Structure 1
Amino acid sequence: MVLVCEWCSSENVKSVSGTVYWELPDGSRAIEITETPAFDCPDCSMVYQSEATIKEIEDQLFLIDSKKVGKIITFKELMSIPRLLKRNYFDFS
């Protein structure tokens, strides 16, 4: 499968990991998520997360007790936190 940049359609995009900053669903604070899967396109200089990764982060933050999340967490640690519900029943997409 050939990766294509979502911004400029270049096939020169690479899978990388990086740091993102995310506001908790309740708006109480933002957290730093390190080692997050991302794509880097040297042709347009964009570094971005896929829609699937964004949805995964948003669902996980919505479905866990976010009070247990520190200021900095790795993507893998975040995804391993047990959920209060099996899935996001409020997502109708």
Structure 2
Amino acid sequence: MKCNWCETEKALHSLESAYWELPDGSRAVEITQVPSIKCNNCGMIYIEEKQIAEIEDQFMLINTNNLGMVFSYKTLMDQPRFLKRNYFNFDR
């Protein structure tokens, strides 16, 4: 896989921790096991834009009070939604 930073073919899919501020700004949380890209050449670890959008949408559609300070990506995505989709995202 090609790295978006150094453009070598040494990037791999990985599960990494990420730190996120909730949309309401009330707190920051740690999300574990987030699908990410890790480059063995430059050492960069990043989350692809599509994945970021899915996480941001999910935070907008759930009751974040049900989440602790640390939780897995799967736990986040398994939370019941108030709405079927984020109607405030006009990119679609």
**Structure 2 length as normaliser, TM-score?**
0.95
The aligned counterpart of 1:15 is 13
The aligned counterpart of 1:77 is 75
Q: Which moved more, 1:4-13 or 1:79-88?
A: 4-13
Unaligned runs of 5+ in 1: none
AA aligned to 1:87 is R
Unaligned runs of 5+ in 2: none
Query: What is the RMSD computed on CA atoms of the aligned residues?
Result: 0.8
Detail structure 1 runs of 4+ shifted over 6 Å in the superposition: none
How many residues get paired?
91
Deviations 1:6-37 (A, max 9, x none): 11211110111010010000000011100111
Cα deviation, residue 64, structure 1 = 0.4
The separation in 2 between residues aligned to 1:52 and 1:76, in whole angstroms, is 16
AA aligned to 1:65 is N
Percentage identity across paired residues of the two chains: 48
